[in-house]
Every structure is written in C-alpha cells, then in structure tokens.
Amino acid sequence: MLDKRLQSLGRHGVDFITGAGRAGALLIGALKPAGRGLKLLPLLIKQLYIVGVQSLIIIVVSGLFIGMVLSLQGYTILVGYGAEQSLGQMVALSLLRELGPVVSALLFAGRAGSALTAEIGLMKSNEQLSSLEMMAIDPLHQVIAPRFWAGIISLPLLSAIFSTVGILGGHLVGVDWLGVDTGAFWSVMQASVEWQEDIVNGGIKSLVFAVVVTWIALHKGYDAVPTSEGISKATTSTVVQSSLAILGLDFVLTALMFG
C-alpha cells in the first residue's frame, strides 16, 4: 500500500520534472527564431489577428461592465463619507493596478489560451507537426514561435484597452448616471494616478501574465496526448492552470510592487 503510494508519488515527481524540462525546451525553441526573422513576420501578423484582434470584443465588453459595476459599488460606499468626488481615483486605480491585468489575463486564458492548446493538440494528432519535422522545418519555429510572440504582444495591449474602456464605463455610471461632477472625476484621477507606480506596474503584471498564459497554453497543446480525449484534457488544464498561475502570481507581484 505504502509502496504503491511512494511509487505513484515518485512517478508524479518524475512526470512533473520532465514536463517542466520539456516546457523549458519549448520556450527556448520558441524564443530563437533562428535567422527566419522575415519569414516569420506574416505568420506573426496572422496570429496577432487570431490571438489578439479576435479577443477584442470580449475584452471591451467585459471592461465596460466591470468599470460600470466598480463605479456603482464605489459610489454607494464613497457617498456615505461624502467622498464621491474620489470616484475617478478609485475606479482608475482598481483597474490599472489589479482588475485590468488580472481579469483580462483570465479572459485571455479562456478565450485565446484554450484555443491555442486545442489547435496545437490537433496539429499534433493529425501528424501536421510530424510532417513539418520531416520537411526539415522546426515546428517550434513555424508553429510555436509566432503564437508565443503574438500572445506576449497582445495581452498587455488588451489589458490596456480593458482598463481604458473600464474607466469610460465608470464615467458613464458615475458621472452621467449618478451625477458625480465630471471635472472632479477626471482631475482627482489625474492627480492620483502615477506613471511608474500604477501604469508601469500594471503593464509589468500583464506582461508576466502574457508570458505565463501563452507558455502554458502552447506547452499543453504540444505535450497533449494526441487523441480527442487527450486534447480536451489539455484544453481544460490550460484554463485551470493559467487561471491559478495568474491569481497566484498576482499576489506575489502585488506584494513586490506595493507591499
């Protein structure tokens, strides 16, 4: 009994380490485009469209609603202290520091990450990756690299768009509906938001999330058991693991930046 458990513990340990090793190799392979720079450009643009542009709608709509809810909740609390003038500050800081990077990364994991995993898993199962190999073309360069860079470029931009739309949503509810003074909304916000402290830090967070989510998604697809069951498992675990990684890393980064 104990024997079996020890064995399975050992197997899990070994699996984890080999998995981490393969994920590392994948990252290194994806990072050096090996003198194919120009040939990769059209592939990158295509992936930017698929990974980035096609995630725009969900990001804009979610950003709008989150900004509106923030503003509504914030107003009911602030108005109790007669501090509703600070609504702009509250909305902007919440979005820029936390909700923008985190929520857009979670949405990105669900929308783009899962699609990447499924796509690459399928390419593996119908031997497209093998046939690239046999054509003497490295699938890491042809398939993985453009998707990886597309993820890293897209997510920070999406998260900036998320925060911007969120602030506009906050303005819509706070100013246009609840009647906070528009001058106060913007000027308090402008006075309190710092470039380094808030905007740069938020950007760093979302860059880190971009690397982690895209990396997990690509690795899960590339390592998927090439059957329909294997691919569906891989897709699920992309979403679960990236979400956990985002939330865990968010705490660590917040502690480092603001702690």
Partner 1 sequence: MISSDNIIEISNLHFSREERAIYQDINLKVPRGKVTAIMGPSGIGKTTLLRLIGGQLKPSSGAIEFDGDDITQCNRKQLYKVRRKMGMLFQSGALFTEMSVFDNIAFPIREHTDLSESIIRKIVLMKLEAVGLRGAAKLFPSELSGGMARRAALARSIALDPELIMYDEPFAGQDPISMGVIVRLIRELNDALGLTSIVVSHDVEEVLSIADYVYIVANKTVIAHGTPEQLRHESSEQVIQFMQGKPDGPVPFHFPSDDYKKDIFNNA
Here's the x/- map for partner 1, 138-157, by CB under 8 A: it reads as: x-------------------
Residue closest to 250 by CA, chosen among 112, 145, 100, 78: 100
Spatial distance between the Cα atoms of 86 and 61, rounded to a whole number of angstroms: 25
| Sign of the dihedral defined by the CA atoms of residues 93, 216, 249, 236, in that order | positive
Distance of CA 150 to the CA centre of its chain: 12
39 binds partner 1 (CB under 8 A): yes
Closer CB to partner 1, 229 or 255, in the complex: 229
Return the range that interacts with partner 1 (CB under 8 A); candidates 98-106, 122-130, 177-185, 230-238: 122-130
Closer CB to partner 1, 137 or 244, in the complex: 137
Write the burial class of residue 32 (CB in 10 Å: 0-12 exposed, 13-18 middle, 19+ buried): exposed
At closest approach, how far in Å is the CB of 20 from partner 1?
21
- Torsion, Cα 186 105 246 88, to 10 degrees, reads 10
Beta-carbon contacts of residue 10 (< 8 Å; ≥ 6 apart): none
DSSP letter (8 states) at residue 1? -
Tell which positions 196-225 bind partner 1, by CB under 8 A.
Answer: none
190 binds partner 1 (CB under 8 A): no
Which of 8, 126, 182, 228: binder of partner 1 (CB under 8 A)? 126
Return the range that interacts with partner 1 (CB under 8 A); candidates 54-62, 76-84, 130-138, 190-198: 130-138
135 binds partner 1 (CB under 8 A): yes
Task: With H, G, I as helix, E, B as strand and everything else as coil, classify residue 191.
Answer: helix
DSSP letter (8 states) at residue 214? H
Here's the x/- map for partner 1, 81-120, by CB under 8 A: it reads as: ----------------------------------------
Which of 73, 85, 128, 187: binder of partner 1 (CB under 8 A)? 128
130 binds partner 1 (CB under 8 A): yes
Residue 63 and residue 169 in contact, taking contact as beta carbons nearer than 8 Å: yes
Residue 153, number of CB atoms within 10 A of its CB: 18
Return the range that interacts with partner 1 (CB under 8 A); candidates 19-27, 56-64, 92-100, 125-133: 125-133
Q: Which residues bind partner 1 (CB under 8 A)?
A: 39, 122-123, 126-128, 130-131, 133-138
